[in-house]
Structure 1
Amino acid sequence: MLSYDSSRRLGPERIPTATWGEFLGDSGFSSVSRIREIVAWWRLVLSSRDVKLVLADYAPLAMFAARSLGIKSIATGTGYGLPPPNMLEFPVLSQDATIRLHDEKVLVENLNTVADEIGMPRLASFPELYRADLQLVRTLPFLDPYEEVRENATYLPPVTDISPVLAQGGEEVFVYFSTIEFNDPGVVEALANLPLPRRGYLPAPPPGVAERLIQSGMILEDRPVPVSKIAERSRILLNAGQHGILCLGLYAGLPQVCLFQHREQLFHAQRAADQGVARVVHPREREERNLVTIIMETYHDAAMREKAHQIARQLKAEMNVSPDLMLRNAIAPIRTELLKTSL
C-alpha cells in the first residue's frame, strides 16, 4: 500500500505541504514502479473476487484499478481528502505554504505510464485520479477547500452522531486528544492547572499523562462519550481540529479551542475560526500560561457561544431528513443500477 515519506517536511529546512497533489507525491506517486505494484495488487483482488462495486475512502489507486476493470466506484470522505476530479491541477490551500516539490505533469505521467500498460484511458490531469461513479462528500460546505470548483456537489452530513440538543449552561471543558497532541510543551501542565471543571477522552495518552491529569482533578472517560452528554455538560471543546470532533461540536453549538497537529487539521480549525466559533492555537502559543489564558478567554466568550448556537441551529435546520436517509437517497441510483445488472 501507499506510504508517506515525510523526510522533506520535517526539521529546520522543512517545506510545508502546499497542495493535495504534493501530499500524493510524498505518498508514492513519484514512483512508477510503486504505482504499478499497487495497481496490480488491486486489479488481482478485484478481478479474483468478482467485485461489482468499490467503496473507497482515501484509496485513489483502488478507484484507478476499478476503472481499468470497468468496475463502478463510490468515493467517500471529507472535502479536504476527496478532491473533485474536474480540476486541471491541485490548488494551493494556504498562502503560507506555496512551494511545490513535485511537478504534477510528472506525477500524472507516472499514472498514465501504468494506464498505458493495462489498456485504460489516460488521465487528462492529476486530480482526475479521483474520478468515480459517485462522490459522497461528507463535510460542511464551509469546511470544503474545493467548494467553489465542485460540479454538482451534494454534501452529506459529516457525522451521524448529531446531538439532539444544543449546548446549554454546561460548565465543563471537554478534551479530545487522540495521539500526539501532548508532545507540545506545556499542554499537560496547562490542562492540569486549568481552574475549570475538566473531562476528557484520551484514547492513547503518553506514559504518565493520564495519571497527572487525574491527580489534578480531571475526569478521564474510558470510552467515547455520547455527543448529547458532551453538549449537556460542556461549555467548550478542546481538540486538535480533527474533522469528526470539530463537526460534532459545530452541530452541538460548542465553541472550540484547536491545537492542530498537521495542515488538514489546521485548515478545518481555521475555517471554523473564520465562522467565529473556534480559536486556533499555533505551536508557538502552547506555553502553559498562554494556553491557559486562551482556554479561559474562550470559556468566558459569550459572543462566541452565541455564534456557535446560531451556526448549530442553522445546520440543524438545513438537515430536513436523517443522515442515514440522506446517505440512502444519495446511493439509490447506483444501487438500483447494480441490482438490475445482477438479475
Structure 2
Amino acid sequence: MSTVMICWGMGEGYGHANKIACVTGGLEATGLHVVIAARDRRLMEGVARRRGLACEVVQAPVLPATRSPDVATVFYSDLLLSRGYSDPDRLVEAIAGWRALFEQHAPDVIAFEYAPTAILAARGVDTPRLGFGTGFYYPPAPLPRLIPEHMTGSGVAHDAGYDTALESVNQALHASGLTPVDGLEAVFDPGPVFITGAPEVDHFGHIRRDGRYTGPVSENLSPGSALEWPQGKGPRIAGYLKAGAPGIERVLLRLNRVRARFVLHLSPKKGERPEALARRLPRSTNVQITLRPFDIDAMARQASCFVCHAGNGATIASLMAG
C-alpha cells in the first residue's frame, strides 16, 4: 500500500486539522495509507477520530517562538524569525526531526499543508512533493508584504529581517548537509501547489500569476452538529472565536447589551483545559457559548451574521452560506 505523509508544522487551530482531515479522507477512499505529522497531535487525533479516519498521526517537530507576540509582523521574514528561525541550532534540530520522520515512514509522496521547515528538510529527498492550503502558506516571489505599506507608515518600508532569516536558514542547511538556498522564497516553495480556495479569497490572488485553485476544501468543524438558538428576539449571530485572542473577555461581557441572539463556539487557548475556560465565561440569556465545535455550514445558513477571526476556512464557509 502506498503511503502519503502530510506535514503540518506551523499555525494553530481547527482550520489546519480539518483541511488535512478532509484531504486524508479522500486519499483513504482511494486505498492510500496516510501518515500525518501534526504540529498539534492531540487536536489532529481528535478531528481524525470524529471523522472516522484510519490514518496514523505522529508529532511533528515544533520550533519554539523566539520573539514577543507584540513585535509587528510586517514581512514574511518577521514571521519566520518569530517562529524560531532566528536560532540556527534549533532549526538544525527541527530539520533533523523532519528527516527522521521521512526516513522512518518512507512515504511515496510528501504533502505539505503549512510546514516551511519540512519543505527545507525535504530538500535532497528523492520523493515527489506538493503543497496544499491557503494562499498565505505559499506566497508568490518576490515575497510580498503581510501588511500594506499605507498601514505601517514609511518607517517600515524595508524588509530588515530578510537577510537575517536567510542567513539563519543557510547556516542550518549547511550544518544539515543540505544545499543552501538563494532566497527565503525557497522556504515556501514545495513544488506544485494547490490552493484550497478561489482567487477572490487568496491573500495574494491579485498578484499571483499561476495559482492552481481547487475551490474550497470543507473545513467544517463538526458536520451535522447544529445547535438551538437562545430564546428571544433580534437577529441570530453565529461565530467561531478563540479564547486566546486579546480582549475576548471584554467582547463577551458586552454581548448581553446587544439586541441579538448569539451561538458562539469558543476554542480554548493553547494549554488551557476546556473546563477551566468554562468557569471564567460570562453568563447571559441571549448568548450561548459552546466549547464543542458545531456545524459551521448549518449555523451560518441560519444566521444573519457570522463572526470570526478571519480564518480562511470559517470565512469561506460563512460566505458560501450566504
CA distance in 2, matches of 1:100, 1:16: 13
2:20 corresponding residue in structure 1:
none
Q: Confirm or deny that 1:123 pairs with 2:181.
A: yes
Q: Confirm or deny that 1:146 pairs with 2:207.
A: no
CA distance in 2, matches of 1:53, 1:228: 32
Deviations 1:276-306 (A, max 9, x none): xxxxxxxxxxxxxxxxxxxxxxxxxxxxxxx
The equivalent position to 1:135 in structure 2, one of 187, 193, 196, is 193
Residues 60/106 of structure 1: CA separation in 2 closer, same or farther (3 Å cut): same
CA distance in 1, matches of 2:172, 2:76: 21
Q: Confirm or deny that 1:186 pairs with 2:250.
A: yes
Post-superposition shift, 1:220?
3.8
Partner amino acid for 1:235? S
CA distance in 2, matches of 1:161, 1:89: 27
Post-superposition shift, 1:23?
0.6
1:176 corresponding residue in structure 2:
240
Please give the secondary structure, in 2, of the residue aligned with 1:68. coil
Residues 211/32 of structure 1: CA separation in 2 closer, same or farther (3 Å cut): closer
CA distance in 1, matches of 2:292, 2:280: 17
**Contact 1:108-1:126 within 8 A present in 2 as well:** yes
Q: Confirm or deny that 1:93 pairs with 2:154.
A: no
Deviations 1:189-245 (A, max 9, x none): 3211212222222233745454513xx232344643334432442111122222221
Q: How does 1:304-323 map to 2 (within 5 A)?
A: none
CA distance in 1, matches of 2:301, 2:206: 36
Which is bigger in relative contact order (C-alpha 8 A, separation at least 6)? Answer: 2
CA distance in 2, matches of 1:115, 1:89: 20
List runs of 5+ in structure 1 lacking aligned partners: 164-169, 254-343
Residues 224/38 of structure 1: CA separation in 2 closer, same or farther (3 Å cut): closer
**Contact 1:22-1:100 within 8 A present in 2 as well:** no
Partner amino acid for 1:191? L
Q: Confirm or deny that 1:20 pairs with 2:76.
A: yes
**Contact 2:306-2:318 within 8 A present in 1 as well:** yes
The equivalent position to 1:242 in structure 2, one of 277, 302, 311, is 311
Residues 67/201 of structure 1: CA separation in 2 closer, same or farther (3 Å cut): same
User: Once the two structures are aligned, what percentage of the paired residues are identical?
Assistant: 19
Higher helix fraction (1 or 2): 1
CA distance in 2, matches of 1:179, 1:36: 33
Residues 151/112 of structure 1: CA separation in 2 closer, same or farther (3 Å cut): farther
**Contact 1:173-1:234 within 8 A present in 2 as well:** yes
2:135 corresponding residue in structure 1:
79
Please give the secondary structure, in 1, of the residue aligned with 2:123. helix
Indicate the structure (1 or 2) with the bigger Cα radius of gyration: 1
CA distance in 1, matches of 2:143, 2:278: 44
1:63 corresponding residue in structure 2:
119
- Report the TM-score, using the length of structure 1 for normalisation: 0.60
Deviations 1:90-149 (A, max 9, x none): 435322233668531232232223333445433121011122232121233233332244
Deviations 1:34-73 (A, max 9, x none): 2211112222221233233222222111121112222222
Structure 1 runs of 4+ with >6 Å offset: none
Q: Confirm or deny that 1:200 pairs with 2:261.
A: no
List runs of 5+ in structure 2 lacking aligned partners: 1-61, 224-233, 269-273
Deviations 1:239-282 (A, max 9, x none): 222222111111111xxxxxxxxxxxxxxxxxxxxxxxxxxxxx
CA distance in 2, matches of 1:140, 1:31: 36
Partner amino acid for 1:109? E
Please give the secondary structure, in 2, of the residue aligned with 1:202. strand
Q: Confirm or deny that 1:225 pairs with 2:286.
A: no
Task: Say how many residue pairs are matched.
Answer: 238
The equivalent position to 2:107 in structure 1, one of 51, 69, 83, is 51
2:231 corresponding residue in structure 1:
none
CA root-mean-square deviation: 2.9
Please give the secondary structure, in 2, of the residue aligned with 1:128. helix
Partner amino acid for 2:95? V
CA distance in 2, matches of 1:144, 1:21: 20
Partner amino acid for 2:262? R
